[in-house]
Structure 1
Amino acid sequence: MPLNVLTLNVGNPAVERARRQRDWLARRNEDVLVLTETGSGPGTQLIAESYRDAGWSVTFPEHPDKERGVMLLARFECTVDPINAAMSYLPARLAGIAVDTDDGPLRILGAYVPSRDATEVKTTRKREWIEAFHQAYDATSDQAAVLLLGDLNVLEPGHVPPHPGQFAPFETALYTALTHRHGLTDLFRTLHPTAVEHSWARRAELGYRYDHAHASIRLLPHLAGCSYVHDTRSGKPALTDHSGLAVQLTLTATAPLITSDPAADHEATLF
């Protein structure tokens, strides 16, 4: 069976929107969901509890009040990846799982990189998180293949449209360092070298490709698909202001869980 993974920025949802997001996600066929911009409130908790009650593995690091982060949901047995514990700054924004596949171990990591504005506080915050990410990645690197997904809040060099002056060199350097420092390849660009796609847009003509999937080169022979899922932001009301990003790998997880429908007619245990 192929291994299907989806990343989606859920925008720290309130309960009503979280319920709609959960129901939409439950209709998808992905085996792993990497949710970004999660929070500590009841909306994110509803998603976590619904999937936990349905038998999924839920990896959800502690979120300090008002801080944002990531959550990973998987329909097979997994262990918590050490990268979250290695993060020295805003650790809720980086987490992962380790799974066994028919081609060896696979680390699936989720990242939600801080955004930035013109203030020194936000600039320093993003710079410090990026440096902490590099250190944590280096410290936990091993022989396992890596799939890194999430909202990186950064654009690739040569992005269309270019958005000149909006990103500092240290931000663009994060994107290039994923390849040159950590050996990870942009999967969407591997399959679609010249395509113009955006995962977030203030206006239709001013889009940004913020959401990414990068993987170890050894995973490229297993890459069967990588595409954006835009209906998450096209509905009325929209599920979120980000598109999802779906990845298909010709790998099989060797320890599937017995799971049920996360959107079944039962309330999450918190409510």
Structure 2
Amino acid sequence: MTNASEQDFLFGSPDVVEDGVAAKEFRLLALNIESPSADRVRRQLDWLYGTGANVLVLTEVRVNEAGDLLARELTSSGFAVTRPRTGHDDRYMTLIATKGYQSRPVQLVGENARFHAVRLTTHFGSLDVIGLYSLTNGMSAESSAARRVFQQQVTQSLAARAAAEPTIPLLVTGDLNVVEPGHGPAASRALFEDHDFDFYLDFGRRLGLVDSFRQTHPDAADLTWYGPKGGQRLDHVFTTPDVHTRVVSVGFDHDVRTSRLSDHSALRLTVT
């Protein structure tokens, strides 16, 4: 039997952002939701709806009943949810949920449960939003080798996408599980390998994208995840330069982390 509050949840939230906002503002929120239980999904959704975001990129979504619940509730609240194909061995996936936009999936070379894209028709034209949840730094030789292969595949895929349709701008965001060289605590940077830094740098060097947060806040010291050896900024957003010129705000909402709804801070970006 379902009680009243559960029924309200299943039929969507009345507090969700209106469709009409998309005609004037692109409000992105990217968050690693830390593999939540069904109960924490409900609390996370209340928080997400309260942000007024109309583009959600959610990473570390478990391929299980809680992940299904998340997708169903977002859909019932009026979001168009794009979820990747998952296989028997996939534990996690990235969900992209949008509200008020025409959207369709975009096929990427080598896309997988952690890495996929949608094309949105926005008030400033077509935009490919690419959600990415990179492999975690396990601080072992095996982890390093697996990360290197994954990172190279992502970079090659994005380069192929950019070459195939150079006039359609890109926005890549999510938990990239790398830190930028030259920023953040030295003890945290020391945990990463050269290929991790190359992965970060290649968004600019090979793909011509801009780290919108760093470009906007050159001296900011925000960290988005804390482990036993200190804090790291693992969550990023890269855009083509023409999109970045329209960014009116970009930064991190740490409340979701400090309130323990997730172990990551949320990245927020607004384009007008």
TM-score range, shorter chain: 0.7 to 0.9
Deviation at 1:62, TM superposition (A): 2.6
**Which digits, 9 at most, give the CA deviation of each residue in 1:21-72, with x for residues without a partner?**
1111122211100001112111121110001122311011133345222100
SS of the equivalent of 1:174 reads: helix
Partner of 1:196: 221
Rounded to whole Å, the distance in 2 between the matches of 1:20 and 1:110 is 22
Does residue 134 of structure 2 align to residue 102 of structure 1? no
Partner of 2:64: 41
Closer, same or farther in 2 for the Cα pair 1:93/1:66, shift >3 Å? closer
1:31-70 superposed matches below 5 A: 31-64=54-87, 65-70=89-94
Closer, same or farther in 2 for the Cα pair 1:146/1:66, shift >3 Å? closer
Partners of 1:109 and 1:149 within 8 A in 2: yes
Partners of 1:39 and 1:63 within 8 A in 2: no
**Which digits, 9 at most, give the CA deviation of each residue in 1:167-201, with x for residues without a partner?**
11001101100001001111111111001100001
**Which digits, 9 at most, give the CA deviation of each residue in 1:104-132, with x for residues without a partner?**
21111110010122333322221111111
Does residue 250 of structure 2 align to residue 208 of structure 1? no
Rounded to whole Å, the distance in 1 between the matches of 2:258 and 2:42 is 17
1:70-149 superposed matches below 5 A: 70-75=94-99, 76-83=101-108, 86-87=109-110, 91-141=112-162, 142=165, 143-149=167-173
Rounded to whole Å, the distance in 2 between the matches of 1:164 and 1:221 is 29
Does residue 271 of structure 2 align to residue 246 of structure 1? no
1:219 to 220, 233, 243: 243
SS of the equivalent of 2:220 reads: coil
Rounded to whole Å, the distance in 2 between the matches of 1:118 and 1:152 is 15
State the number of aligned residues: 243
Deviation at 1:13, TM superposition (A): 0.9
Q: Structure 1 length normalisation: TM-score?
A: 0.86
Partner of 2:47: 24
Partner of 2:16: none
SS of the equivalent of 1:78 reads: strand
Rounded to whole Å, the distance in 1 between the matches of 2:85 and 2:256 is 26
Partners of 2:152 and 2:199 within 8 A in 1: no
Rounded to whole Å, the distance in 2 between the matches of 1:124 and 1:206 is 23
Partner of 2:257: 233
Partners of 2:144 and 2:193 within 8 A in 1: no
Q: Structure 2 length normalisation: TM-score?
A: 0.85
- Higher RCO structure (Cα 8 Å, ≥6 apart): 1
Partners of 2:94 and 2:113 within 8 A in 1: yes
Deviation at 1:103, TM superposition (A): 2.6
Note the aligned Cα RMSD (angstroms). 1.5
SS of the equivalent of 1:11 reads: coil
Partner of 1:174: 199
SS of the equivalent of 1:233 reads: helix
Structure 1 letter corresponding to 2:235 = D
Deviation at 1:240, TM superposition (A): 0.4
Partner of 1:268: none
Q: List alignment gaps of at least 5 residues for structure 2.
A: 1-23
Percent identity at matched positions?
Answer: 29
Closer, same or farther in 2 for the Cα pair 1:24/1:215, shift >3 Å? same
Q: List alignment gaps of at least 5 residues for structure 1.
A: 251-271
> Structure 1: which 4+ aligned runs deviate by more than 6 Å?
none
